[in-house]
Structure 1
Amino acid sequence: MLDGTVVPYMLQLTQRRSVGFLIAEEGLIIRAPLRISPLMLDEIIQGKKQWLLKKLYDREHQQKRWARLEQRVEDGEPVPVLGQHFELHYRDKPRKVEINLHERLIWLPTDTPKAPALLTKQLQHLALATFQQLADSLANNQKLGEFTIHLSSPKHRWGSCNSRREIRLNWRLIHYPQHFIEYVIAHELAHLVHMNHSANFWATVERLLPNYQAAHKTLAGMNPAMVPIDPQFSLS
């Protein structure tokens, strides 16, 4: 009981010498020494209650804003694609994944344990084609030179650019509206000219994509490792 709130937790007794706290997907995990008394453990937990309540609140808030793709593969589940909600459904034939951009539907083969992997692969295929097209359009007549577009899957960033002029874009951007994708691409294209975040760099970003600031601010608060499902974040 923390400030009137019942907080369930998993207790792991180990050979460690101190009490440790972990906020995991399944909830609060407390790791404690084998011989610790219940009274001492409770005192330590109460001493950390403000920190624990804040972390647990943040976790609950995050669960309302984002989800893993494998949590969105139930029949009828909405999956955001290019900023619009697509309904996911299963069918027997043909036994392949289809993303229908016109009807905003995603079809998966029935009775397959590999549904998340199949959906991920198809979304990545769509992402690469979309990112390449948008990059070519933004770079048109900008005298940026040659570059290549690749997909990546980092947990903490949307894109990167290296000295070999390889631009890597987080494939999960395919969930977001086109303007957000264009911002990340413009950001990385600007690195072809300025390998820093100087005033000249941001001026290049603005030349490539005027009014980029809103997309920059929004994406800074999003989770690059998950699917956006926050009802307060309008995708359509």
Structure 2
Amino acid sequence: MIARQLQLPNGQQIPYQLDLRARKTIGLKITDHGLVVHAPKRITATQLQQILLEKSGWIQQKLALRLANQVAPMQWLDGEPLLFMGQDIVLTLIAHPTIKAVTLEGNRLLVRSPHTEQADWVARKVLQWYAQQALPDFKRRVALVAAQMGETVSAVALSNAKSRWGSCNSRKQIRLNWRLIQAPPQVIQYVVCHEMAHLKEMNHSARFYALQASLFPAHAQAEKTLKALSPILHRMT
């Protein structure tokens, strides 16, 4: 990757990372770190500048959208807002000399411990709690969909992927991102059905989408909701 600047006619500069590859066209991608440009190795600086200027409107729009979707990182402090199964809950830290426990009571996630002032410790225990809630919920959903499909699943496991919500392999193993347990139930169900459809169609063909629609008719709205929630769900890290 090569650090570059796109100079706009109004004087504004947009930093980007240039990735030169053996390809014929230019590809633009907005990541968490900004603009990434994939370009042919033999492209000239003038050609690249002209193409990027032509795409500058799209680039600025997408960068502005990314900025608007950014959320504050987790602080792991008392009163921190959290999500669980689509519901707003609040992290509540309670100093206790001996008890070490995380429990959900109403809309409060109570963390009792002599270490409540240690953010790393609180984070670790809260993430463990979310994972403990996620796995049985996901297994139950997978089992119900498998029965509906007349299929068998060899294993259900949690994933910690940064960019994928789930996966299914040829060994009929399903992996689901534990962060999904923060999302509304219909979003979790959508991802489960999406991955389960891959048991019969290991692709994204028309037949796959037809099967997905039969398993979860409201997939389009759920996908839209998940995309909008994604920055919030990824605060949990």
Q: Which TM-score applies when normalising by structure 2? A: 0.67
Aligned counterparts of 1:197 and 1:52: Cα–Cα separation in 2:
28
Aligned residue in 1 for 2:41: none
Residue 86 of structure 1 pairs with residue 89 of structure 2: yes
Rounded to whole Å, the distance in 2 between the matches of 1:52 and 1:207 is 37
Deviations 1:10-68 (A, max 9, x none): xxxxxxxxx965799899xxxxxxxxxxxxxxxxxxx9x989966763443122xx444
- Say which structure, 1 or 2, has more relative contact order (CA 8 Å, 6+ apart): 1
Q: Which residue of 1 aligns with 2:145?
A: 138
Q: Identify the match of residue 106 of structure 1 among 106, 109, 113.
A: 109
Q: Distance in 1 between matches of 2:210 and 2:31?
A: 41
- Aligned pair count reads 191
- State the percentage of identical aligned residues: 34
Q: Give distance in 2, aligned partners of 1:55 and 1:197.
A: 26
Where does residue 96 of structure 1 map in the other structure?
Answer: 100
In 2, are the aligned partners of 1:72 and 1:78 still within 8 Å (CA)?
A: no
Preserved CA contact (<8 Å) 1:147 1:166:
yes
Structure 2 alignment gaps of length 5 or more: 1-7, 18-29, 35-52
8 Å CA contact retained: 2:102, 2:110: yes
Greater Cα offset, 76-85 or 134-143 = 134-143
Distance of 2:209 and 2:63 partners within structure 1 = 37
Conservation of the 8 A alpha-carbon contact between 2:85 and 2:183: yes
Gaps of 5+ in 1: 8-18, 28-46, 229-236
Cα–Cα, structure 1 residues 217 and 56, in superposed 2: closer, same or farther, change >3 Å? closer
Greater shift after overlay, 52-61 or 143-152?
Answer: 52-61
Q: Aligned letter for 1:105?
A: R
TM-score (norm 1): 0.67
Amino acid at match of 2:186: H
Distance 1:227 1:113, change over 3 A: closer
* Paired AA for residue 74 in structure 1: L
For the residues of structure 2 that align with 1:216 and 1:25, how far apart are their CA atoms? 20
Question: What secondary structure, in the 3-state scheme, does the structure 1 residue paired with 2:119 have?
Answer: coil
Q: State how far apart, in whole Å, the 1-side matches of 2:225 and 2:188 are.
A: 12
In the alignment, the residues of structure 1 paired with residue 63 and residue 177 of structure 2 have an alpha-carbon distance, to the nearest angstrom, of: 28
Q: 2:79 aligns with which of 58, 76, 79?
A: 76
Q: Secondary structure at the match of 2:158?
A: strand
Code of the aligned partner of 1:112: Q
The answer to whether the 8 Å contact 1:161/1:188 transfers is: yes
